[in-house]
Amino acid sequence: MPLKYLTQPQLASFFSHINSPRDRALFVVIYHYGLRVSEATRLKLTDVDFEQQTITFHRLKGGNGGQRPLLANTQQALVAYLPTRQPTGDGLFTGRQGNLGRHQIYGLFKRYAQRAGLGEYSVHCLRHSIATHLLEAGLEIDLVKDHLGHRNLQSTLIYAQITDKRRREAFFRIEHSQAVVKLNER
Question: Do 17 and 114 meet the contact criterion of CB atoms below 8 Å apart?
Answer: no
DSSP tag of 82: G
CA separation, residue 7 to residues 10, 34, 102, 118, 131 (Å): 5, 15, 24, 11, 11
Going by their DSSP bridges, the two strands 94-95 and 98-99 should be labelled as antiparallel
Residues annotated as part of the active site: 36, 61, 124, 127, 150, 159
DSSP tag of 101: P
Q: What is the CB neighbour count within 10 angstroms for residue 100?
A: 24
Going by their DSSP bridges, the two strands 66-69 and 94-95 should be labelled as unpaired
Extract long-range pairs of 59-68: CB within 8 Å, 24+ residues apart: 59/149, 60/36, 61/36, 62/151, 63/148, 63/149, 63/150, 63/151, 64/146, 64/149, 64/150, 64/151, 65/149, 68/33
DSSP H helix total and E strand total for the chain: 9, 5
